[in-house]
Amino acid sequence: MKYKLMIALLFAIPMLAQADDSALAALKASAGTWEGELYYLDYQSGKRFGIPMRIDAEMTPDGATLVRRLTFTDPGRMVHAVNLATIDRDSGELVEAYFREGRGELLSYSIVGVEYASETQWRVVYQQDGEDDDRPARIRHTMARDGALMTSSKEVRFLDEEGKFLLRNGTEVRLADGE
């Protein structure tokens, strides 16, 4: 039994490393200038709202971290934010730092799915347990690229309820140069 477990782990380790490499390749493939919409669900009204968004993304020279400069409108003003994302080589987690209006936040996510066919065809799913709407929740993100279209979504399932994930917000952006 002990040997079966060791053999299973030996086969799993390369698959985990491959998932890390594919997730990092997807981050790299999201570099560029993207324009489109940030949308969100207002819990009180149940309505979806959309606002214009621009993402300027580039990899650091070592190819390990994606730097995204986000610009979007919030009623009556422009918002400028910065997001740094990498795959932690020790844990295999996607780690993000997000900065906006003099505040910062560090987040770690388990990568639960990676499909990588090419630089223009991929999907990464990552999640964490946290809070949404001041309630404990499982928060799942999906980021995907299909040609010149890149989408992301944040879905929430409240831990004190049985049920499906609820779409909270997301983006639909296209490469600015139209690739």
* DSSP sequence for 150-176: EEEEEEEEETTS-S--EEEEEEEEEET
- What pLDDT band is residue 178 in, cutting at 50, 70 and 90? low
Report the pLDDT value the prediction gives residue 11, as an integer from 0 to 100. 44
Q: Cα dihedral angle (103, 159, 87, 83), rounded to 10 degrees?
A: -30
Interval 172-178 mean pLDDT: 89
Q: What is the pTM of this model?
A: 0.84
Report the pLDDT value the prediction gives residue 8, as an integer from 0 to 100. 42
pLDDT digits (tens, 9 = 90+) for 114-160: 999 999 999 999 999 999 889 999 999 999 999 999 999 999 999 98
State both tokens at 175: 């490469």
Nearest to 138 by CA among 166, 165, 157: 157
- What pLDDT band is residue 97 in, cutting at 50, 70 and 90? very high
Report the pLDDT value the prediction gives residue 87, as an integer from 0 to 100. 95
Report the pLDDT value the prediction gives residue 179, as an integer from 0 to 100. 53
For the chain, list the domains and their CATH numbers: 2-175 (2.40.128.20)
- What pLDDT band is residue 12 in, cutting at 50, 70 and 90? very low
Cα(4)–Cα(177) distance, rounded to whole angstroms? 52
Cα(83)–Cα(106) distance, rounded to whole angstroms? 10
Distances (CA, A) of 114 to 98, 121, 154: 22, 11, 16
